[in-house]
Structure 1
Amino acid sequence: MGPRDLRRSLLTTCACVALSMPAAAQDATDEEADAPTVLSPIEVTAQFRSEDPLDVPISMDVVDRFEIEDRGQKDLSDTLNAVPNVVLQESNGQVGFSTITMRGIGNQGGDMAGGDQAIGMYVDGVYIGAQVGMNPPLYDVERIEVLRGPQGTLYGRNAMGGAVNIITAEPEPELYLSGEAMYGSFDLYNLAAVANGAIGTFGDTTVSARLSANQAGRGATVDNSIGDDLGDYSTTSGRAQVRAAGSLYDVVLRADYTDQDATAYAYDDFDDAGDRDAAIAEPFEYELQNYGLSLNGEVYIGDLTLQSISAWRSTHTFADGNDWNASDSVYQSADWDQNQLSQEFRLTSPDDVRLRWVAGVFIFHNEEEERNVFSHRPGSSPLWGMFANGESEISNSETTTNSQAVFGDATYGVTDWLDVTVGLRVTHDTKETHYTHVSQMGMAPTQTLDYEFEALDFSPKFTVMVKPNDATRVYATISRGYKSGGYNRLFAPSPKLEFESEHVWNYELGAKLRLFDDRMELNGALFYTDWYDQQVTAWRGMYNEIANVPHSESYGAEVDVAARVTDTVTLGGAFGWTEATFLDFPNPSATIASGDGFRQPNAPRFTYALSAQYLGPLDDIVPIGSDVDLLMRADYTYRSSTYYDITNQLEEPGYGLLNLRAGVLGDGWRVEGFIKNATDEEYRVQATEYNGMDLAVAGDPRTFGLRVKVDL
């Protein structure tokens, strides 16, 4: 089978359901032309072993590399924002701080200077501790697994609302070369290349290498009447891997680097943001560097597998500008450095035994240095009629986190139709900070503070799964999630810096079915989440303060379906419903005494996705005697109204986005055109109240483009 035939076969494995479903496979060879029309299985590693998603008692969505390609997804926001009950909010623009919310659980109210993410992110098994860079570019990715609900037992302390696993393509012995180029409106472009092959064979060990590179960017999308236009960005990324695989071990050494530059989002009047016009004297410029090394090794000890994941990562960001208006009197900047070391050991039982288990140890060390400045810009007009000599507010902090955990998860097959799973993770955290603030403007007290705290957490899980037949699974789960406490490190208003850790108890009932001789898959889940000491970011006029809300809740449902209608057509749909509210929320602002009943930010009540794909011979449509395939695809996603703030003052009406793609595929090549936001829907992706003004940021406009890819 040639590259074209392989691509044609694998392309149709894409299930067109909100990124989530294993999809239909069409085989192009004569020998397999009469194969039954079915949905083909895909393996996942959500529970640290290779499994059919049907056997994983988690509400999850999976998108493989072919669906990433067919949907034209270039960063994680493209993936997550098409998954029901999941939102990725880009707070600062294409680069910078992003917040992931699942079932209403996330970092509520804005970016958290001093807080952690509520959704765990992992790349090739490595925990990503940085608050920024949560919207990485997607290139040479094997698949993405989106796990909803607390994943604390296996994934740890900050996977309270769920987890996102990004698995990149590993080196293989076969020679493979690939290159692609894309160009679109607003000077949107993307260049990517992959080189893979064997270095050599040494005894029973094969050594392979893989190099991947990506360059992407876009021009301005917002007109600025008094300065540089806004919305442009540039991203340079690369990844190098070496793999040594033998009969007793499999080891992969990885190094990656990402450098991003952008003008941060252009905040404009909330009601007029869709006009894409601004008057900003000194637009924010944003820089982000994210890089790391990891060594992931598996050693086979009899029937057991011992896995070690050693990693170092470092992140640096810098942003500076004014305060989104025509005056240049204000200067602001934020400078942040993060370095982390992590080590995880796992021992895993065989897959084909009645008692299947995994046990492990996790060690994490994290250091952060942060500097925030708000000042009068020297030489400009007086600020507020009071400050004219470069007066400033400067916060500096140095924070160290050490975390250790032991965990275990065991599944026992009581009978052929009943599995019982019990898991527990015990986590010990220590966090200390040295904080200083120097005030010349009276926005926060001048002070020097040193704090330290430690916490011990137990995150259990209990699951029962019933297997009435080979195509049906019904499961019920009770699990606990934990998110670490921390310190306010930005213009702290008082000597009390600390905020408490938060916890959830989640109760879930789900079902997974394969129907009509594997032509259709149907998954569904009901959930209720009881939430205590929720961390929220409250805007205090000129700074954010993280505080704890005593009690909140979230409940709802997810359902998705994929169907292989014919050899060439796949259809799908997915629906999410979330009721996420504050139950006990005293004094959410200076003017609101109670926030009881307010909805959680970034948590639309309803989300759904519809998609359709045709992949088949072009001759079936236009009889021109060509040996070429035709690909046509449509994806539509919808979100009902949502709030951007904890006081429910900034509301975004519901909106839907339609993306279209069409192209032709030959032997090792493809050419396709695309339209994103085909109806040119006007919507906002972020909003805030700043110094008495309601400001918002417009979503991306309609964008056209052309993409060419060649595989050798």
Structure 2
Amino acid sequence: MKKAFHVHRASALAIGVSLIAVSQPAAAQDTGADAAPALDTIVVTAQKRSQNLQDVPIAISAIDSAKIEKLGVQDARDLSGLAPNVTIVSGTTSNSAAVISMRGISNGGSETFGVDTASGLYVDGVYISRSGAAGLDVADIERVEVLRGPQGTLFGRNTTGGAIHFISRAPSNEFRLKAEGGYGNFDAWNGRITVDPGAIAGIATSFSYSHRQRDGVVDNILEPRDSRDPGSRKSDSFRGAAKIELGGTGSIQYIFDWSKVSGSPMAFQLTNVSDGTPRNIVVDGQQLVVTQPAPVEQYLQSATFANADCAALAEPRRAYRSKICNDISSYAVDEIWGHNLQVENDFDIFKVKMTSGYRIWHSDSVSDLDGLGAFSGPAFTPTSLLNGLPASVLQGIVPAASIPFISSAAVPTVQQNLFETSNTRRHRQLSQEIEVSGNSDHLDWVVGGFYFWEKGSEYNPQNSGFVLDTNSILSRYGSAVAAANPARYRLVQTLTTLSYTAEAESSALYGQATYYPGGRGSGLRVTAGGRYTWDNKRLFRTQNGAVPFAVPQVGKASYSKFTWNLMLGYDLADGISSYARVATGYRSGGFNASDPVASGTNTIPSFGQENVTSYEVGLKTELFHRRVRFNVAGYYNVYKDLAVNVPVPDAPQGTFSTRIANAGKVNYAGFEAELQAILTDNFSIDGAIGYVNVDYKEFLGGKSTVPGAPAVDIASIAVPSYTSPWTGNIALNAQFPIGAGSARLVGRVGYTHEDGKYSFPTALSAPFNDAIKGDDRDLIDAQIGIDRIPLGNAEGEIRIWGKNLTNAKDFVRGIDFGQLGYAGGYYADPRTYGITIGVKY
């Protein structure tokens, strides 16, 4: 019933968007459409040249700076849901990480350096390789282009899901000043200033600085400072750009960006614990190896909490808590530097552009991942297993002389969290791309070369508490011994560290051409492109357990692939164009940093590359004298060797780890639609809807309990991770002139829906996967304000805004700790609101 309701709700949203697109503007047209305002032309560079969005034969969304400001978008994660079939989930222990999902293809939850992202993220043409650094500040962004579907030719590195491209504003030759400041609940302050001094000696420059901070949104009762509570955040960012024109045909532009984000990430909240009941899963008549979770429930029931208030909060439940207990004050600090150099020139018969990028990312974090506060209870050590047993049951088990001592000895205790971790990550990357392009009456073409290098290191100590049912050991001495056990459930402290360095190098050659058989005005265009990519990777590991290795472990792997696309576009009528596209994509394989070495060797195994073939058809329309823009697309993707991130079902006892594996064959099918419409001089709407169905054809992720048996196909029980089947949004915009001047009252009310997401693809190794599936999200945001307020030669604005106005307490991301016996996750921000005042000159 619940699924049917969500399908009905999403279908109703789609029908509503379509009906508005067809009917409402027609009425506006009847009342004088010729004199009415029209939608702005959207120029994008998705094919390495400036084009009208409506002429590009792929599914692409463009979000301009005005909409970014109107929505109060502060970083890349706020873009979730603004384009169909695109969702972005925040990281767990970091303030800058993001999990991007496009058309059902997700980056996965792993932030290790051995795993590449599935959706490419670019800033001014520079590829951002790490999902941990994907939560970019969007200061001074001109527009964001969201390219859905594999971009295996022009944006070729790891773009099987699609690409998101941030394009920043170029420096102005004229003086320009823009400043704003604001305040909101949770003592949130923000300020931003951008200055373009104007061209000096032929060099145009631009400088911007922003600061944001807020208190936490969940109260850690063990932390007296609100500024250190979970959800607290302080960020500073700076951007400087300089551009010089070269004889009217070329230019050189340099961009520097720096940002630092610190604070306490959102609170992990305990939702489920296991009582140790054995699990069994049978697929096609075969019993499979599954994770057996530890009996955490029984241990917590008898544990002693250092703080009585924390004991009351320790009960696991699937409900938002406004108060938690973190005896370790979680924090994360991420600092990013970026350099971007662009040199281009038009030689009349062809153009040349070179883009060079160098980026550095440092990340440090400490995380409490149980939210229980300090607690103590019986500890397990091999030498104390028999402590406290009655002398009568020790007869014949230990020497007679030792019985009085052992029977009178107490079971030791330990103060220990279920899980705590810290992480130190360092990363550098260098990229270089050169492209040569040209055009004529019948042909557009571009050829280029791309080089990329990166090196990253991670030092990740973990401290976990594993609950052991000691009766499983004592029962071997007989039932009477087990029955007399003074402390059946005892905690094993497990200290482990993962330390490694990863290095990758990638190079590619590409080309693409668009041919207009009857000339540019014929309405027919054919595009073909190809790219050959070479990837080399290396992992050097010095520790993966309690102690460092005597001899480091090494993994090496190489991958290569030719990817291509064919596109056909045809204008059916004025303002109505259609297209068909077949494209391939590729994501290189890599290493799961915590995988054990191959038996009898010192070699870390690698996983293989992914390959996708995508079929897409679409229709792009501008109707009613360009008062309506309505674009729709349908797609079918055939995926081979999909790499997924799953917890390890047979990891060493007392540890938690995940593993990347190539699952097999998966098909993705779906549709998406976008709408912009001017209803009247005062009202307009925009909206989008997307649906994706993920069909696992083969998922060789099962391990039979029969020794030596082949891998078992578990496609029938697999689910897509970090994927919302239905996504949608719709918003009403309003503007009304105020008085005789240019000032106007502006407002916007928007609704966004995202279906709940699974965190893992299978319950074999994630016992609570169904229980920690994310909530369906239904968000209402609103803004109202006055802009274009005359202030002499300047303009002012004031805006009151609110996000999540219904104060929905949505569970958005889960973590299943497998055999450690518990699970939990993260809730989205509660209602936030504030006021922003700005001026521009």
State whether TM-score is above 0.5.
yes
CA positional deviation for 1:593: 7.2
From 795, 802, 815, give the equivalent of 1:675. Answer: 802
Q: Is 2:824 the partner of 1:710?
A: no
- In the other structure, the counterpart of 1:505 is 613
- In the other structure, the counterpart of 2:460 is 372
Distance 2:437 2:565 in 1: 18
From 680, 696, 710, give the equivalent of 1:566. Answer: 680
Distance 1:528 1:563 in 2: 28
Q: Is 2:446 the partner of 1:358?
A: yes
Distance 1:310 1:502 in 2: 27
Q: One-letter code of the match for 2:593?
A: R
- In the other structure, the counterpart of 1:329 is 416
Compared with structure 1, are the counterparts of its residues 180 and 365 closer, same or farther at alpha carbon in structure 2 (3 Å cutoff)? same
Once the two structures are superposed, what CA deviation does each residue of 1:160-202 show, in whole Å capped at 9, x if it has no partner? 110001011110111001110011011222210000032424x
Distance 1:269 1:581 in 2: 31
- In the other structure, the counterpart of 2:357 is 311
Two-structure CA RMSD over aligned residues (Å): 2.5
Once the two structures are superposed, what CA deviation does each residue of 1:506-539 show, in whole Å capped at 9, x if it has no partner? 1000110111111101100000111111111112
- In the other structure, the counterpart of 1:340 is 429
Conserved? CA contact 1:588–1:595, under 8 Å: no
From 457, 463, 466, give the equivalent of 2:561. Answer: 457
Distance 1:544 1:438 in 2: 13
Q: Is 2:538 the partner of 1:432?
A: yes
From 199, 215, 218, give the equivalent of 1:219. Answer: 215
Once the two structures are superposed, what CA deviation does each residue of 1:582-631 show, in whole Å capped at 9, x if it has no partner? 32123368999724353311211211111011112135xxxxx7763100
From 552, 561, 575, give the equivalent of 1:448. Answer: 552
Conserved? CA contact 2:812–2:827, under 8 Å: yes
Report SS of the residue matched to 2:656. coil
- In the other structure, the counterpart of 1:8 is none
Distance 2:215 2:785 in 1: 25
Conserved? CA contact 2:115–2:590, under 8 Å: yes
Distance 2:832 2:616 in 1: 40
Compared with structure 1, are the counterparts of its residues 504 and 121 closer, same or farther at alpha carbon in structure 2 (3 Å cutoff)? same
Compared with structure 1, are the counterparts of its residues 286 and 467 closer, same or farther at alpha carbon in structure 2 (3 Å cutoff)? same
Conserved? CA contact 2:544–2:594, under 8 Å: no
Q: Is 2:722 the partner of 1:602?
A: yes
Distance 2:701 2:346 in 1: 56
Percent identity for Structure 1 against Structure 2: 27
Q: One-letter code of the match for 2:44?
A: V
List aligned pairs for 1:161-180, cutoff 5 A. Answer: 161-180=161-180
From 773, 776, 787, give the equivalent of 1:651. Answer: 773
Conserved? CA contact 1:538–1:588, under 8 Å: no
Compared with structure 1, are the counterparts of its residues 617 and 94 closer, same or farther at alpha carbon in structure 2 (3 Å cutoff)? farther
Q: One-letter code of the match for 2:327?
A: A
Conserved? CA contact 1:107–1:535, under 8 Å: no
Once the two structures are superposed, what CA deviation does each residue of 1:247-292 show, in whole Å capped at 9, x if it has no partner? 1311101111011112122111234442232222114311111111
Distance 1:674 1:460 in 2: 45
CA positional deviation for 1:113: 4.9
Compared with structure 1, are the counterparts of its residues 288 and 37 closer, same or farther at alpha carbon in structure 2 (3 Å cutoff)? same
List aligned pairs for 1:254-653, cutoff 5 A. Answer: 254-270=255-271, 271-324=317-370, 325-327=372-374, 329=416, 331-350=420-439, 353-375=441-463, 385-387=491-493, 392-415=495-518, 416-437=522-543, 439-440=545-546, 448-490=552-594, 492=596, 496-540=604-648, 542-587=656-701, 594-596=714-716, 598-619=718-739, 628-647=743-762, 648-649=769-770, 650-653=772-775
Q: One-letter code of the match for 1:700?
A: D
CA positional deviation for 1:46: 0.9
Q: One-letter code of the match for 1:217?
A: Q
Compared with structure 1, are the counterparts of its residues 132 and 568 closer, same or farther at alpha carbon in structure 2 (3 Å cutoff)? same
Conserved? CA contact 2:584–2:611, under 8 Å: yes
TM-score normalised by length of structure 1:
0.89
Conserved? CA contact 1:369–1:397, under 8 Å: yes
Q: Is 2:166 the partner of 1:52?
A: no
CA positional deviation for 1:375: 3.7
Conserved? CA contact 1:39–1:518, under 8 Å: yes
Distance 2:575 2:199 in 1: 43
Report SS of the residue matched to 2:320. helix
Report SS of the residue matched to 2:216. coil
Report SS of the residue matched to 1:530. strand
Distance 1:631 1:74 in 2: 20
Compared with structure 1, are the counterparts of its residues 34 and 558 closer, same or farther at alpha carbon in structure 2 (3 Å cutoff)? closer
CA positional deviation for 1:59: 0.6
Q: One-letter code of the match for 1:552?
A: V
Distance 1:130 1:239 in 2: 21
Report SS of the residue matched to 2:421. strand
Distance 1:57 1:298 in 2: 26
Distance 1:509 1:93 in 2: 40
Compared with structure 1, are the counterparts of its residues 158 and 376 closer, same or farther at alpha carbon in structure 2 (3 Å cutoff)? closer
Report SS of the residue matched to 1:587. coil
Conserved? CA contact 1:474–1:510, under 8 Å: yes
Once the two structures are superposed, what CA deviation does each residue of 1:628-687 show, in whole Å capped at 9, x if it has no partner? 310011111011233222125232232210001001121311001011101111101211
Distance 2:423 2:570 in 1: 52
Q: One-letter code of the match for 2:529?
A: G
Compared with structure 1, are the counterparts of its residues 289 and 76 closer, same or farther at alpha carbon in structure 2 (3 Å cutoff)? same
Conserved? CA contact 1:107–1:536, under 8 Å: no
- Gaps of at least 5 residues in structure 1 are 1-16, 22-32, 378-382, 620-624
Q: One-letter code of the match for 1:365?
A: W
Conserved? CA contact 2:81–2:753, under 8 Å: no
Compared with structure 1, are the counterparts of its residues 493 and 700 closer, same or farther at alpha carbon in structure 2 (3 Å cutoff)? farther
- Give the number of the structure whose alpha-carbon radius of gyration is greater: 2
CA positional deviation for 1:223: 1.5
Report SS of the residue matched to 2:626. coil
CA positional deviation for 1:498: 0.9
Distance 2:91 2:154 in 1: 29
Q: One-letter code of the match for 1:339?
A: R
Conserved? CA contact 2:207–2:239, under 8 Å: yes
Distance 2:738 2:805 in 1: 24
Q: One-letter code of the match for 1:409?
A: Q
Conserved? CA contact 1:119–1:163, under 8 Å: yes
Distance 1:506 1:155 in 2: 15
Q: One-letter code of the match for 1:535?
A: A
CA positional deviation for 1:109: 4.9
CA positional deviation for 1:301: 1.0
Conserved? CA contact 1:684–1:697, under 8 Å: yes
- In the other structure, the counterpart of 1:27 is none
**Greater helix proportion:** 2
